Homo-oligomer: A and B are copies of this chain.
Amino acid sequence: MATILYPNHMEIDHGAISKIGMALEKNNIKRPLICTDKGIVEAGLYDILRRALPNDIDYFLFDETPGNPTEVAVKDALKIYKENDCDGIISIGGGSSIDLGKGVALCSTHDGSIGNWSVMNVGRDGVGACAPIIAIPTTAGTGSEVGGGSVIITEEGQKIVISSPHLLPKMAICDPDLTLDLPKYLTAATGMDAMAHCIEAYSTNAVNPPAAAIALDGLERVVTYLKRAVDDGHDKEARWHMMMAASEGAMAFSKGLGCVHSMSHAVGADPVLKAHHGTLNAILLPTVVRFNSPHIGEKVEKLKSAMGLSPDQDISDWILGYSVSIGLPRNLAALGVTEDMLLHFSEHCMTDPCHFANPVQPTVDQYMDMYREALTQ
């Protein structure tokens, strides 16, 4: 049975931020809380948003989103939201700011600890109406702007997922001009996150032809434009296509993700390593594609075709070469991962939701083998 869910409304183009007034009006938001981080403020992107806001809008600011959004930060933002009688959220930033905004949207209408409303506790249908969110991504990777999910670290230090159609941003304003000054490294790492989304989503067993078609289209875009965007951040055409590819990656993963993400989540949860999600995905992608290839039939050829590879090229080798060519680390060792951590990571993988969506479910030993391969490749 194929369940097909899509985002409601996206505006994408150079200068799309001018649509913010329309977005607020359409969703009856007059007193938005703007959720973002200090980096976005310092980069001048917050000012661009402020200038685009209609004059009659009273807005309030929370700019302390941490690198990985926490329940503590959600509570701090919610306090501002409630004190000022806000009626909606504008999230501007990377995946963290958008995910934080979703946490605030949920807590504005749901009492108790945010953990009570996690997917594990109440599923996707257990969350009721939430404050409306307008999402404005400033990276091209996570695609959180077109998804209803969010990862939050609770006060107890647990990573939980909240997810609901009510948390899907009412509008995604995708303005590639906001990414022109994104540093090379972040461009590369977030771009490879989008590639991982497209490849993993396409590879799952779930039947969802529109999502599959979108995945291949997004993949073709990443392969064609990511290196250009890394080489010249002001290549506006490349930035447009990467912004599109990132959203397509997230539309596609309504179909599910797989072991790249179960393995990446395990390493990403390590509080000392503090490894970047997109970087981890880039490193793990070749290994997981190699592991999955015997199980996904003709999909390997379709992936290669979308990537412009010839039938005799090795897809994993190609991905690793591409990733290194745009400046990302080659292996997990470069991120400080050591052999003795791998068993813990592998066990962590076995309960990750993405583990179950992979075309086949690896054993702990198979996870160990994959981690070892990625450790020193």
Interface residues of A, Cβ cutoff 8 Å to B: 1-13, 16, 19, 26, 125, 165, 207, 209-210, 212-214, 216-217, 221, 244, 248, 251
Contact = CB atoms under 8 A, between A and B. Distances in A.
Contacts of A9: 3-5
Contacts of A10: 2-4
B210 A214 contact: yes
B209 A217 contact: yes
A165 B7 CA distance: 12
A13 B3 CA distance: 10
A10 B209 CA distance: 12
Contact of A1 (B2, B13, B212): B13
Nearest to A215: B213
Given A2-B13, A3-B10, A4-B11, 14 more contacts: A1-B12, A1-B13, A2-B10, A2-B12, A4-B9, A6-B6, A6-B8, A8-B165, A209-B217, A209-B221, A210-B214, A212-B217, A213-B216, A213-B248
25 contacts: A1-B13, A2-B12, A2-B13, A3-B10, A4-B10, A5-B8, A5-B9, A6-B6, A6-B7, A6-B251, A8-B8, A12-B207, A26-B125, A209-B214, A209-B217, A209-B221, A209-B244, A210-B210, A210-B214, A210-B217, A212-B217, A213-B213, A213-B217, A213-B248, A214-B214
Given A209-B221, A217-B210, A11 B7 contact: no
B8 A2 contact: no
User: Quick one: copies of this chain in the complex?
Assistant: 2
Contacts of A217: 209-210, 212-213
Given A6-B6, A7-B4, A26-B125, A210 B12 contact: no
A229 B210 CA distance: 21
Contacts of A248: 209-210, 213
Contacts of A244: 209
A282 to B, nearest CB: 23
The 5 closest A-B pairs by CB, nearest first: A6-B6, A213-B217, A4-B10, A213-B213, A1-B13
A226 to B, nearest CB: 16
Nearest to A221: B209
Contacts of A210: 210, 214, 217, 248, 251
A19 B3 CA distance: 11
A26 B214 CA distance: 27
Nearest to A14: B1
A26 B165 CA distance: 12
A224 to B, nearest CB: 12
A220 to B, nearest CB: 9
Nearest to A146: B4
Contacts of A4: 7, 9-12
A263 B7 CA distance: 32
Nearest to A172: B4
A176 to B, nearest CB: 12
Contacts of A207: 12-13
Nearest to A168: B8
